[in-house]
Amino acid sequence: MPASLAAQRPLILGSTSRYRRELLARLRVPFTVSAPEVDETPQPDEAPRALALRLAHAKAQAVAAQHPQALVIGSDQVADLAGQPLGKPGTHERAVAQLRRMRGRTVLFQTAVAVVCAATGFAQTELATVEVRFRMLSDDEIERYLRAEQPYDCAGSAKSEGLGIALLDAIVSDDPTALVGLPLIHTCRLLRAAGLTLP
C-alpha cells in the first residue's frame, strides 16, 4: 500500500489510558481515541505475556471492526511476578499488598502493542518486556509513596515516570516508554510496517 494512502487513513488509539494518549502524542501524528469493549479477564492458566499479547490484539480488533478504514493501535500491560499477573490495584489497600509482594524482587512488565487495519488486513502484534527490580521497601516507605502519588490505576502500583522511580533498584528495557504503557519504538515499527509515514 502506498505510504501516501496509509498516511490519509485515520489513526485511532484503542485505549482509554491517559498515559498511552500522552505517549502517542509524542509522535506528532493526528489521532483520535476510542474505548475498546473487551473483556480483560485472564483465561485459566494464561501466562502474563500471553495475556498482554491477546488483549492488545483484541482491543485493536474491536475498534478496527467499528472503523475498518482506520489504523488502530491496541495495547495492554500486565505486571508479571514469578509468572503471576498483577493487575491495577484500584484501591490503596490492594496497592499496599502489591508493593509488599514486590519489594526486593524482580517484576517483568509485559507491554504488548498491536496495529490493525481491517480494510487492508494488516494485523501485527509485538511485545516489549521490561525488567524492574524493586528495592527492599519498608512498610513506611510504601505508605508514604502511595499517599503521595496514589498510583491506583497503574499495573504494579508504581509510576516509574514519577516518584515511583525512588522505589526501584534498576530498570532493564530496550524500549524506554514500554514501562509507562505504550512501547513507542515497537509502535513506530508497526505503524511503518502498516504504511504510515512518521515525521
Provide the annotated active-site residues: 76
In angstroms, the Cα distances linking 192 to 3, 34, 130, 197 are: 9, 21, 23, 6
Rounded (10°) CA dihedral 17, 18, 19, 20:
60
In angstroms, the CA 176 to CA 125 distance is 18
In angstroms, the CA 90 to CA 180 distance is 17
**Burial of 94 from C-beta contacts in 10 A (0-12 / 13-18 / 19+):** middle
Three-class secondary structure of residue 74 per DSSP:
strand
Q: Which three cell numbers stand for residue 116?
A: 490493525
